[in-house]
Amino acid sequence: MLSHKTNSYIKALLAVFLGKFLTIIKLSFVVGSHAVMFSASNLCLPLVGLFGHIGGATCMWACLLAVRLFSAPFTASALAFYVPGYAAALYLATTSRILRCGIPLLAFFLFCIHPVGAQAMLYSCYWFIPMVIGAVCGRSLFAQMLGATFTAHAVGSVIWLYTVPMNASTWLALIPLVALERITFAMGMVVAYHAINRLTVWASLLISAFNRPSVILTR
């Protein structure tokens, strides 16, 4: 069987490949845009942090952002499709209370000091969820995924707030939709986690079979 480190690399690579493949599956529109949608890649790419840790997550998102910068004109709102996923990956990559609580807390602060965000402060209260999960360091897989997806939501919302004009009533109207959306994302991430683990077992068996020395029979 392969080493634990090798298995982690395989899982991280599978999360990347599945994430890029699943971009074809669209889940819901991003409010404030009539063309941009969340895709199923949001269920897999943050798992790179869980499998590849901080270093692996940082390398992957740096590569994704570099490709984006060289392939299309840069806009500030484009960061909303890269930085949130990286924040979610960092949440899963560490058990540091400072990092897990600090990112959503900073997002909460930045949201509330914005003129529109201050009028929709209730919306940002969702971000206490990853703070609480991060503070207690709960071991439930679903809780970890819920904390990660709400961290991504916090960072993405702040970037969207500062780059895309939306009024406070629109943000407040999104509150029930956010709950359904993030619970669905967390459940999808749990399914993706188990699927990647299963695929890794098969990949490990296949690699081990190819690396097994052949037996030469002689008389």
Domain boundaries, given as residue ranges, for the chain: 4-211
Distances (CA, A) of 210 to 4, 27, 203, 205: 18, 39, 11, 9
For 199: left if phi > 0, alpha if psi spans -120 to 50, otherwise beta; the answer is alpha
Residue type, 37: M
CA dihedral 188, 183, 149, 29 (to 10 degrees): 80
The CATH architecture of the domain made up of 4-211 is: Orthogonal Bundle (1.10)
Q: Say what the pTM is.
A: 0.82
- C-alpha atoms less than 13 angstroms from C-alpha of 204 in its C-beta half-sphere: 17
pLDDT in tens, the chain (219 residues): 556 666 677 777 777 777 666 665 655 545 444 444 555 677 788 888 888 888 888 888 888 778 777 776 766 666 777 889 889 999 999 888 899 999 999 999 999 999 999 999 999 999 999 999 998 866 789 999 999 999 999 999 999 899 888 899 999 999 998 998 899 889 989 998 988 888 887 766 666 666 665 444 444
User: In degrees rounded to 5, what are phi and psi of residue 29?
Assistant: -75, 150
